Every structure is written in structure tokens, then in C-alpha cells.
Amino acid sequence: MNPTISYFCFSNVCVKLITFPMGVLFASLELIYFLSCFFLFWFWRPFFPVFA
């Protein structure tokens, strides 16, 4: 087994393990941010006719 190839595979797995949860985290944060903005806008709309 070539040490450089094994190191590359190991670093590739580490990068995937790090980037995949971060991508899921950022996607869920964007979804939560969008939903919270949407619900805030929908909830405050009767009180602020300017935004309607």
C-alpha cells in the first residue's frame, strides 16, 4: 500500500466527514431562517398593513 495514496484516501474521507455535516447544517439553517422570516411576515401582516 502506497503511503501517499492511503494518506490521500484518509484525508479525503476526513474532508467528506467535515464538509457533509457543515453543508447539512448550513442548509438547515437557511431553511429555518427562511421559514422564520416567512412566518414572522405572515404573522405580523395584519398588524402592519404597510407590508401587505
Q: Please give the tally of structural domains in the chain.
A: 1
Residue 50 maps to a domain:
no
Residue 31 maps to a domain:
yes
Dihedral Cα 6, 11, 12, 16, nearest 10 deg:
140
Q: Which three cell numbers stand for residue 35?
A: 421559514
Residue 51 maps to a domain:
no
Residue 17: pLDDT band (50, 70, 90) is: confident
Q: What is the largest CA-CA distance in the chain?
A: 70
What is the pLDDT of the chain when averaged over all its residues?
Answer: 74
Domain extent for 7: 1-44
- Quick: pLDDT tens for 18-32: 778 788 888 888 889
Residue 37 maps to a domain:
yes
Place of cell 453543508: 23
Residue 14 maps to a domain:
yes
Q: Which three cell numbers stand for residue 37?
A: 422570516
Residue 46 has pLDDT above 70, yes or no: no
Percent of the chain topping pLDDT 90 = 0
How far apart (Å, rounded) are the C-alpha atoms in residues 40 and 30? 15
Residue 49 maps to a domain:
no
Residue 5 maps to a domain:
yes
Residue 38's pLDDT is 83
